[in-house]
Amino acid sequence: MLLAVDVGNTDTVFGLYESGEWEHLWRMRSLPQESEAHYESRLRLHFLEAGLWFGDVETVVMSSVVPALSPIIQRVLRSLFGEDIVVVGPDSYPELEIAIDHPHEIGADLIANAVAVMNRYHENCVIVDFGTALTFTTVSREGKILGVAILPGLLTAVKALFANTAQLPEVPLVLPSTAIGRNTTQSIQAGILLGYEGLVKSLLQRIRTELGGECIAVATGGLASIIETLQDEFVEIDMQLTLDGLRIIGESVRAKEV
């Protein structure tokens, strides 16, 4: 068994991989103010309910983009599974070259995404991750991260609009049928969702142009399927892409230790 842990800005996802499949997926809110006991008790409960034993987990691999929460989750994992866990950073997977100015600035989740697509596809690829932030990670066919574009995610944009305006409500993320909103909810949905539809298409087109036109796109993240009209832009929408990249990194590190 392999346990992959992705500590994100909104949620922390735990994935248990066995026999070629993600057998169990658990999600907890990423709350740095919570104690180690909170996360440990939740994880213990998940294992108990699934009839699993901690000793059956051979590899634990973790990525985090929340510095305040990273040591808390690391201590929980080491307490339950032993000291030898894999914490993903820019040097974790030497086969992937990170060709940006400051490799240590890139999120560990984006490294995992890149590892997943470089092992699955052998061509230029943009990974569009619809999370708390909306990120575009460009990976070359040679297995090199060329760079990243980052902007607020869909839900982040809606919350920012709600928090910083006096009369605009927080609205559900439902794709509207028209760009001409006839009430406040429709107006915000048109502006955010249809606006992001155009944004994603425009950025993908610009990246493809800069790469000479040959570049596929893969989508991931919890909101990847919200804008249905974007689905034709992607060769694949994989909600477990980050976990799969973590799995590949963890297996690679363990194989080199043998």
Question: Would you say 124 and 139 are in contact if contact means Cβ atoms under 8 Å apart?
Answer: yes
In the residue annotation, 91 being an active-site residue is answered as: no
Among 203, 199, 206, 250, smallest CA distance to 227 is for 199
Catalytic entry in 109, 129, 238, 244: 109
Burial bucket for residue 246 (CB in 10 Å: 0-12, 13-18, 19+):
buried
Write down how long the chain is: 258
Question: Would you say 137 and 114 are in contact if contact means Cβ atoms under 8 Å apart?
Answer: yes
CA separation for the pair 27, 54 (Å, rounded): 18
Question: Would you say 80 and 62 are in contact if contact means Cβ atoms under 8 Å apart?
Answer: no
CA separation for the pair 190, 228 (Å, rounded): 14
CA separation for the pair 7, 15 (Å, rounded): 11
Amino acid at 148: V
Active site residues: 109
